[in-house]
Amino acid sequence: MNNSSKTRSSDATNLGGKFTFPGTSMTVHRMGYGSMQLAGPGVFGPPNDRNAALAVLRQAVSAGVNHIDTSDFYGPHVTNQLIREALHPYPHDLVIVTKVGACRGADRSWIPALSRQELIDGVHDNLKNLGLDILDVVNLRVGGLAEPSEGSIEEPLAALVELKGDGFIRHIGLSNVTPTQLRQAQKLTEIVCVQNFYNVAHRNDDAFVDDLAAQGIAYVPFFPLGGFSPLQSSLLDAVAAKLQATPMQVALAWLLHRASNVLLIPGTSSLAHLRENLAAAELKLPEEAINQLNSVATNNASSVA
């Protein structure tokens, strides 16, 4: 957490309740904000409207968001520089979670960057572009684009543990990992959060979510509307229509309902969409809707194959 005494407006809503990262004093609202979409098309280059991007960040924090997800490979460098311009000096309770483990090619490709030196460089790039002396949480990003892949993560994680010991990182998380990799990581350091692909239709991590909840570790799903088949999308649309809400709002509300350790980081570059996403934290799902949404995962792509 940051040392600034900067205050925020007093109109903050509940934003899904609060969660404290294990072994820390960092307490955040469960509805956060993901900065990825602030960069240009393909998460590359500057935003189409820089002033709008800055306004979204400032409005999110003004509304009570105190958990921002980012990475210096978004842009690259773009989203961190926007965060610094919009919010520095940071509110004292703002938790900025970043990630390392990839870099961007000139052709906009995503390239693994998991060597010791690449991870060291990535951490220092985050520090510089965010204007910080120490990073709250750094997630080690491994695996494929969306799905984790088994294999040892000991070597890259050791580099982050070293940086934590040197005082550049307060806490460590993991992104795109398996339960086996989490257990391996916990032998080296405390893990405060896991960020994986998960939503109402893509529920491979159901048992993992419950295990992390039992340990008090945050689970941060990405792609809240990713991987839906046409049938699954139609079921979600139907529930949303009944509740007079958007499909995204319903998907986010279901995730908040799923487990108390789930933290959300929906991203947008639009003020209107930001307000819609934050309003999802106030959406109450009746039992009938929850049952319908729980059935979405069973209506998989085999029905349209």
Q: Which of 74, 90, 198, 219 is catalytic?
A: 74
- Considering Cα of 100, then 105, then 109, then 112, what sign does the dihedral take? negative
**Residue 97 near residue 154 (C-beta atoms within 8 A):** no
Are β-strands 33-34 and 18-20 bridged in parallel, bridged antiparallel, or unpaired?
unpaired
Phi first, then psi, for residue 256 (nearest 5°) are -65, -35
First to last CA, the chain: 48
Whether omega before 89 lies within 30 degrees of 0, making that bond cis, reads: yes
Alpha carbon separation from 84 to 43, 53, 54, 64, 150 (Å, rounded): 18, 12, 10, 18, 36
Distance CA 9, CA 99 (A): 28
Q: Is 74 a catalytic site residue?
A: yes
- Catalytic residue numbers read 74
